[in-house]
Homo-oligomer: A and B are copies of this chain.
């Protein structure tokens, strides 16, 4: 019973602080949130909560604010799912349905997510390794430099320039390209190596050595070093939460420009069906220690094609943000799955 109310107090503190961005005191807490007890009682609970590390006070004679641990408890046990409003659902649908292109889908959804959550949104392009091959095109730039163009079933077009040890003429390249295409068409990229494994044996003898080298470079470029891409939107929203700028905003913006950092971030949390929340210090990236990340995976069926999420201040409407992230992930998954 007492335990119960303490949690109510914590929930009230989180919700109030998220709205007001001001340390919340015992009086307004007892008044505004209908806990049927007096401020003094609330104070006792707050004292206990502080003892246990769920809340803290910025200075004496100020109210309390949640700690990372407090937010964590809130997210894990205290917040229900906040369903999206009808207007929001409609917005998602109308915003995304006009998309034709993969690029279009990604760009639209990242902007949408930024707009819905009023935070910085991140959307990963569908991973190459999870996609299937729809077409491979090889164009010669010089006899020893080829441009590989891979088109996947998600509509992603991936290009890569590779160097080959021995020159090849256009005609041969064309033939080899045909061979590769028939072997790989419709295959998932992760299965590509085995799909092409015995191609050379079956090929015309004069093509074999070329085919071998070509297969080697193609596999290396597309399977071993797949390039992940990411779209970002809503950085302007960072100015919304009046965090102190020079110290926090700068490294944050720098981190957001690093694809590597974002990819790591998204890569760690792209479970389907689960919205992962990383609060403050739980993030492994230094620049994100004072922010929270809400992310999930999207895709069809069992395997995740990619991940998406938002980055925002720890003082965040977690239920709302989680709902938005989940909804957008679902739509994007459907869109890219059906395509």
Residues of A within 8 A of B (CB): 100-101, 103, 134-135, 137, 139, 141, 147, 149, 151, 155, 157, 159-161, 233-236, 238-240, 242, 245-246, 249-251, 253-254, 257, 339
Contacts of A250 in B (CB 8 A): 236, 239-240
- A249 to B243: give the CA distance in the assembly, Å: 14
Evaluate contact between B137 and A147: CB separation under 8 angstroms: no
Kindly report which residue of chain B lies nearest to residue A145, judged by CB atoms.
B100
Evaluate contact between B233 and A257: CB separation under 8 angstroms: yes
- A249 to B253: give the CA distance in the assembly, Å: 13
Evaluate contact between A239 and B249: CB separation under 8 angstroms: yes
- Known: A137-B151, A155-B161, A157-B157; 16 extra A-B contacts, CB below 8 A, are A101-B159, A101-B160, A134-B141, A135-B139, A137-B137, A137-B149, A139-B151, A149-B157, A157-B159, A234-B257, A235-B253, A235-B257, A236-B249, A236-B257, A238-B253, A242-B246
- A254 to B240: give the CA distance in the assembly, Å: 12
Interface pairs A-B: 10 shortest CB-CB: A236-B253, A239-B250, A236-B254, A157-B159, A100-B161, A135-B139, A137-B137, A235-B253, A239-B249, A236-B250
A interface SS class: mixed
Instruction: Looking at the assembled complex, report how far the CB atom of A235 sits from the nearest CB atom of chain B, in whole angstroms.
Output: 5
Contacts of A339 in B (CB 8 A): 141
Instruction: Looking at the assembled complex, report how far the CB atom of A110 sits from the nearest CB atom of chain B, in whole angstroms.
Output: 10
Kindly report which residue of chain B lies nearest to residue A236, judged by CB atoms.
B253
- A134 to B161: give the CA distance in the assembly, Å: 14
Evaluate contact between B139 and A147: CB separation under 8 angstroms: no
Evaluate contact between B257 and A239: CB separation under 8 angstroms: no
Partner of A134, one of B101, B139, B235, B242: B139
Contacts of A100 in B (CB 8 A): 161
12 contacts between A and B (CB under 8 A): A100-B161, A135-B139, A137-B137, A137-B149, A137-B151, A155-B159, A155-B161, A157-B159, A234-B257, A236-B253, A236-B254, A239-B249
